Chains A and B, each alone.
Chain A
């Protein structure tokens, strides 16, 4: 039987379309327990590759005969070995090209809406890590928001669309992934905007993004209004794009809210977080479509793979927006928090320009799920 290769793009489509897939994950048990490919109809078996060096006979009966099987490892090598062994036993299986490394880096662009005068908004779903980036296109120009470190995806996308990236934003200083914002700005000559309160220690030039700023994309059509909304970080700033979309950064997600502890200031920032979510956001139109910088669980994905919801709906359904008691709210966001993201201190320093790790190191720093939210 043959061994097939499956790309991260193909697996992403299976996640979006809720297809069935049986994943044989051959990484070691700790790595699997920490982080795996999530899909609503995916089933799993975790057997470290080094337990299969003498043969795969023992696991064959644990594999389904009526489902597609995907062998997954960290970087590909071990999954190819195991897939070939299974193939020799007569099974048809695939391996994931580039392994979890590729999965972590894959971005799937999904269109989330139209803008006045023919513009578009795209969401870039980093399916393996739960990060969401955006591109706002209008009249030959584009803005990129919360870009990941895989910058080619954005610059290639803009080139294909025939638009020039003129403005790049980060809603806050990220702690869970390395921002590609500065690099894109350098490559394209775009303006790089950062909230100044998050940028006090940065080592590079940037444009100070503050509440009340309005940036126009495409000369005449689209405005991006900045809205100061601290709480996840002290500088966290949301954007209202074209009076229609609310880019909420890491303050508000679909089924969770931002955590205030990643800069070691949970106690100080919890009040800001509550103010942003319970006062500032309450003053906005409930018709705004919320586009967050993360999702935490795949249940937050819409049918087409996008992650978005009307603000009014979130006011009703999001538990984090419905805690009347301040003490209880404080408890939720400061106690029993999920583990902090892998290497988050180093990631913050990288995003400040204080350290410049090699690409391999950067990749390693980002391994694992994002953990920016509390539910």
Chain B
């Protein structure tokens, strides 16, 4: 599976501290919520990326080993997302979703996170259309189906649910809070 990022940073061949120094600089040029791929060869960079992201509030998504190159994926912190009020009223909590996912009937889950977030773990069978692409791609979805929209914390999915509702989708549910608290099965690069 190829993972798309808004920015690719080449930090190959650089020793600590340079991969982090460069990442810190590069991430300031991103918009909140965008994803950066950092390519590094320093083995210690994985632990440092995780710890650095945690200390700065950015989101460490995961690392893929590609030969000698470590590809780290990080998503720039987004304040709005953390505290945004949700407006879309038809919500479903994670337990209810889990019962449905584990149940016999197949259900439709729309994951509106960035593709890199999705790549490192999503509900099996979930379809990925990042929030930013929904305007162009909503027609890929079936209006007659019940659609469970999920993101990381419930705010992007809230916006997505509103949008789908405007487009005439009648059976949309916003799943709250989101993948950050999901304890059911996932698939993807872990």
Contact = CB atoms under 8 A, between A and B. Distances in A.
Interface of A: 28-31, 48-51, 53, 73-75, 77-78, 81, 360, 364
Given A29-B51, A50-B52, 18 more contacts: A28-B48, A30-B47, A48-B48, A49-B16, A49-B20, A50-B24, A51-B55, A53-B17, A73-B16, A73-B17, A74-B16, A74-B44, A75-B15, A75-B16, A77-B17, A78-B16, A78-B17, A81-B17
30 contacts: A28-B48, A28-B51, A29-B51, A30-B47, A48-B48, A48-B51, A48-B52, A48-B55, A49-B16, A49-B17, A49-B20, A50-B17, A50-B20, A50-B24, A50-B48, A50-B51, A50-B52, A50-B55, A51-B55, A53-B17, A53-B20, A73-B16, A73-B17, A74-B16, A75-B44, A77-B18, A78-B16, A78-B17, A81-B17, A364-B43
Interface residues of B, number: 14
B23 to A, nearest CB: 9
B16 A30 contact: no
B1 interface: no
Contacts of A51: 55
B38 to A, nearest CB: 13
B178 to A, nearest CB: 27
Contacts of B47: 28, 30-31
Contacts of A49: 16-17, 20
Nearest to A78: B17
Nearest to A101: B44
Nearest to B44: A74
A237 B24 CA distance: 53
Contacts of B16: 49, 73-75, 77-78
A192 to B, nearest CB: 31
Among A48, A50, A78, the most chain B Cβ lie within 10 Å of the Cβ of: A50
Interface in B40-77: 43-44, 47-48, 51-52, 55
A334 to B, nearest CB: 32
A360 B48 contact: no
Nearest to B25: A53
A30 B46 CA distance: 13
A73 B47 CA distance: 13
A73 B44 CA distance: 11
A75 B47 CA distance: 14
Contacts of B20: 49-50, 53
A53 B55 contact: no
A73 B51 CA distance: 15
Interface string B1-37: 0000000000000011110110010000000000000
A77 B40 CA distance: 15
Listed from nearest, the 8 A-B pairs whose CB atoms lie closest are A28-B51, A78-B17, A50-B52, A77-B15, A50-B20, A77-B16, A78-B16, A49-B17
Find the residue from A28, A48, A51, A73 having the highest chain B CB count within 10 A.
Answer: A28
Nearest to A74: B44
Contacts of B51: 28-30, 48, 50
